[in-house]
Structure 1
Amino acid sequence: MRMINVAAAQMGPIQRAEGRDVVVRRMLALMDEAKAKGADLIVYPELALTTFFPRWYMENRADADGWFEREMPNDAVRPLFDRAARHEIAMSFGYAELTPDGHHFNTAILTDRTGNIVGKYRKIHLPGHAEFDPERTHQHLEKRYFEPGDLGFPVWRNLGGIMGMAVCNDRRWPETYRVMGLQGVEMVLIGYNTPSVNAQKGDEGPEKRLFHNRLSAQAGAYQNSCWVIAVAKAGDEDGHRLIGGSIIVNPDGEIVTEAKTEDDELLVHPCDLDATAFGKETIFNFAAHRRTEHYGLITSRTGAIPPT
């Protein structure tokens, strides 16, 4: 067996007025708890260092830059990297990235046990809209503040396994998992900030949104025979509620542990990477069963076009 003891570090709400120092202290407390429970890897949510700021419309796009990190690590998060190295725990978390040449991405990073960054992913499937929409119950302006990721869906060898990352809305798209699956991924780390109510469909509330969260992660895990670690930032941020429901899903698509609150909450589970082998060698043996000659529309077309 190749065991990784994984800690899914769900985080409760972060208010707009709260600084990174407050947030990092909470993240450190979760990391200390993970260490006490024997974790090898801790996974934090999307935009773990700030409130979910795409809910706020700013006419001047640059006014949002205060929520972005210009380097990683920086002074604000250095304690996280130092503590992770001292604990010999690998970690992953999401943040808003502003590159030296002025590009804005919704980013996640992965470190090894020494606190060195070994992987970076930039969110590809950006939901929402770019301009203020008075018809929505709340704004979801990711397309205003971020550019689509430009790194593809890479995977990395870490902790004796093959790991990939995705961010929030990416988890709803089967292509996300399949591209990593075609690289032999054994564990996919996903952070998310998902509003509890659909801004364009008011009767789609937390129960339905949690159902879709589970469905997406379980399907991705099963269809690619990999572990999926899906971790939320949850709770009421300045009157805007986010779902929790952080989960760890095994390669059979079964939820092995799930968060019960919308607060800071740690889920720890031993994940055997060798458990991915059976599915990869049988029903999802891609080399034996995939028929790429029939998949051309997946990359040649974006929108659906019904037959005439």
Structure 2
Amino acid sequence: MSNTPRNDAAEVRAVVAEISPAATGVVSVRLEPAVGDKMPSWEPGAHVDLVLGPDLERQYSLCGDPADLRSWRIGVLREPESRGGSSHVHDNLVVGDEVRCRGPRNNFSLDDADDYVFIAGGIGITPILPMIGACEAAGKPWRLVYGGRAEDSMAFRSELAAYGDRVTIWPQDTRGLLDLDGLLGTPAPGTEIYCCGPGALLDAVEERCANWPDGALHLERFRPKEGALDGENSAFEVVLDYSDISIMVAPDQTVAEAIEAAGVHIPTSCREGTCGTCETVVLEGEPDHRDSYLTPQEKESNEVMMPCCSRSCSARLVLDL
């Protein structure tokens, strides 16, 4: 295990070049470099952090063409219960505004496989779009089932129409819930499944894939799993091995907050265990994993944890920070 401190992703200054409707309640935002003529390179599944203001930082999947570095594209849904990010993009962001971006980061990368099944729910289509493009370029077989509340709320349908019957548009108001049993009922060795969307969809897909080979299912969550952040909060000690500092984490503090209060920088973004930005190596102790990012196998190994939300089952944790 490395004793090298973790580094933040690069910060990029970008200018809003275009904002256009992508569906009812969804806008497509195109960002161009504020300095130079190229944006940083990225691969399908990557996301960026948009710094929209003080204490207002949100993650959005890149959904354009990775080969076109003249700009980045994101899709932003107006969230009914917005914490400030989506409402800011929809109501305040205008062409010409400069925004700071961090990244790209990729916690949802496209593995090599014989075949692919893509399942998207609502705005979860955004990371899937460049994955489909990559499959097309590589000549890989794939299919997409894309669900949403109603057809007019489902973004980027015109782009998907070019793929013909490999894409199934499934509006809930006319077709009901996705037929996941028909889609996933029989495991197919060599096929990998990529799913992004609301938590209920991801939970249902995860349940249907219990009998699939390990590693076949790939999920990206926008929100924590139901109950993931719950649990008893008690005080415990955290030792930062690289910094040679010992701190106490109070019951009303997260590990990340206690580390920051001690003057040690730790990269964070979502602060709720979904993005993977703060992933930290555990050298000693047993974490109380409350994230929605690590796989069950990764949690069982206790090799890493998410200090933004997870706590400790042991009285002492030693972290590689």
User: Based on CA coordinates, which of the two structures has the bigger radius of gyration?
Assistant: 2
Task: Flag the structure with higher strand content.
Answer: 2
Greater relative contact order (Cα 8 A, min sep 6): structure 1 or 2? Answer: 1
TM above 0.5, yes or no, is no
Task: Flag the structure with higher helix content.
Answer: 1
Q: Please, what TM-score do these two structures have when normalized by structure 2?
A: 0.28
